[in-house]
Amino acid sequence: MPKKVFVMGSTGSIGVNTLNVIRELRDEFVLVGLSANKNIELLEKQIKEFNVPVAVVADYFNAEKLKEKLKNKADCEILSGAEGLLTAARESDYDILVTAVVGFAGLASTLEAIKRQKRIALANKETLVVAGSIVNELAEKYGSEIIPVDSEHSAIFQSLVGEEKEEIEKILLTASGGPFRTWNAEDLQSATVEQALAHPNWDMGSKITIDSATMMNKGLEVIEAHWLFGLPSEKIEVLVHPQSIIHSMVEFKDGSIKAQLSLPDMKLPIQYALTYPRRLKSDFVQTRFPKIKELTFFEPDFQKFECLKLAYDAIESGGTAPCILNAANEIAVQKFLEGKIKLTDIPKIISKALDDIEISQDLNLEEIFDCDKRTRNFVATLFN
């Protein structure tokens, strides 16, 4: 019997690749739901191709446009907004929820799926960044599986199969270094949006690509790894690896290191999250080492990439500090994409938010949602 899959964020890069995987594994999986932000043209095509019974659009007016486009297709229910995502997570018939929604918006629906004991193929790192302790507590209570989709966390997850947690010395999160790896700090002052979006290895959405350019993406991954694998920040090391062949590594107490390697292709970790613990045949990734020739590694420059240090600081501060970090970053990245601030202003805005907004150690969902709102309002005032 094929597993039923709901993909939240189906028109983004992770979502599109998830559908590519499912096309190749139609005997194993069936799509039962999709969601999108604004790209209703692509969503319409996906709905028609996979004949899904429910779809969610972030914006009400775009949802109405989609309903009009699909007026002759009465067998697909169109929902809208945050409430639509929640309704779909609560009521749709699925086995696996792929959370590829970008940003804080993915949290609430993920929690609903966890309560229903579903497998979470987690591509929304912000879920664990802002509410890691709550997510882990609920997953343990309800017996829900959380399988990481990020290539780095998937690599660590794969490297830990059959291993004991107490035997881990540290994990090594690899980073490409992004488009500005070889730039000096002074030159970053003049970095343009176009330059920041020109990632050397990965094809990602604009927000994640900017996060890669500032290395905030890696900072968020450090926090995510802290919650996924239950390790303190001092056991999570970032290593710049420009070729993006080694997706991450685990070093054990005896000095041995396990790694997962392949050419950069998100379809591989997506497929693993869907099929775990099985490995099914795939023709997506063909890694040939003679063609690669060399693998190189560097320590990250924390002075140049201040966002990475801010993420480590947020782990140490605990409580709502990661929530403040994430919300301030989301707003700052959007302002950069709009051409209203410099790339180097992003860490300054995040740092100010962390300094000026009170950090609460009383972690509960109400406090997290309130903190996210307060942080966004605070950062917005900086541009008035």
Residue 203: pLDDT band with limits 50, 70, 90 = low
Mean pLDDT (whole number) for 206-220: 92
How many other CB atoms are found less than 10 A from the CB of residue 266? 23
Evaluate if residue 192 carries a pLDDT over 80. yes
Nearest to 218 by CA among 379, 357, 329: 329
- pLDDT (tens digit, 9 = 90+) per residue, 115-166? 999 999 999 888 899 999 999 999 999 999 999 999 999 999 999 999 999 9
Evaluate if residue 263 carries a pLDDT over 70. yes
Nearest to 268 by CA among 288, 258, 282: 282
Evaluate if residue 202 carries a pLDDT over 90. no
Tell me, yes or no, whether 358 and 245 share the same domain: no
- pLDDT (tens digit, 9 = 90+) per residue, 280-301? 998 888 888 898 989 999 999 9
Tell me, yes or no, whether 313 and 323 share the same domain: no
Evaluate if residue 205 carries a pLDDT over 80. no
CATH number of the domain that 334 lies in? Answer: 1.10.1740.10
Average pLDDT of every residue of the chain: 93
Taking the CA of residue 281 as centre, how many other CA atoms within 13 Å lie in the half-sphere pointing to its CB?
A: 1
Residue 126 has what pLDDT? Answer: 82
Number of domains in the chain: 3
- pLDDT (tens digit, 9 = 90+) per residue, 74-127? 789 999 999 999 999 999 999 999 999 877 777 889 999 999 999 999 998 888
| CA gap 135, 227 in Å, rounded | 9
Q: Last residue of some domain: 317, 345, 366? A: 317
Q: Last residue of some domain: 266, 282, 317? A: 317
Tell me, yes or no, whether 28 and 108 share the same domain: yes
Residue 358 has what pLDDT? Answer: 95
Residue 383 has what pLDDT? Answer: 82
Contacts of 357 (CB under 8 A, 6+ apart): 324, 371, 374, 375, 378
Residues 35 and 52 sit within 8 Å (Cβ to Cβ): no
- pLDDT (tens digit, 9 = 90+) per residue, 330-372? 999 999 999 999 999 999 999 999 999 999 998 898 999 999 9
Evaluate if residue 72 carries a pLDDT over 80. no
Mean pLDDT (whole number) for 20-38: 95
Tell me, yes or no, whether 88 and 160 share the same domain: no
Helices (H) and strands (E) in the chain, counts: 16, 11
CATH number of the domain that 54 lies in? Answer: 3.40.50.720
In three-state secondary structure terms, 162 is: coil
Q: Last residue of some domain: 279, 297, 317? A: 317
Mean pLDDT (whole number) for 175-200: 90
Domain range for residue 234? 153-317
| CA gap 104, 223 in Å, rounded | 14
Residue 71: pLDDT band with limits 50, 70, 90 = confident
Tell me, yes or no, whether 247 and 295 share the same domain: yes
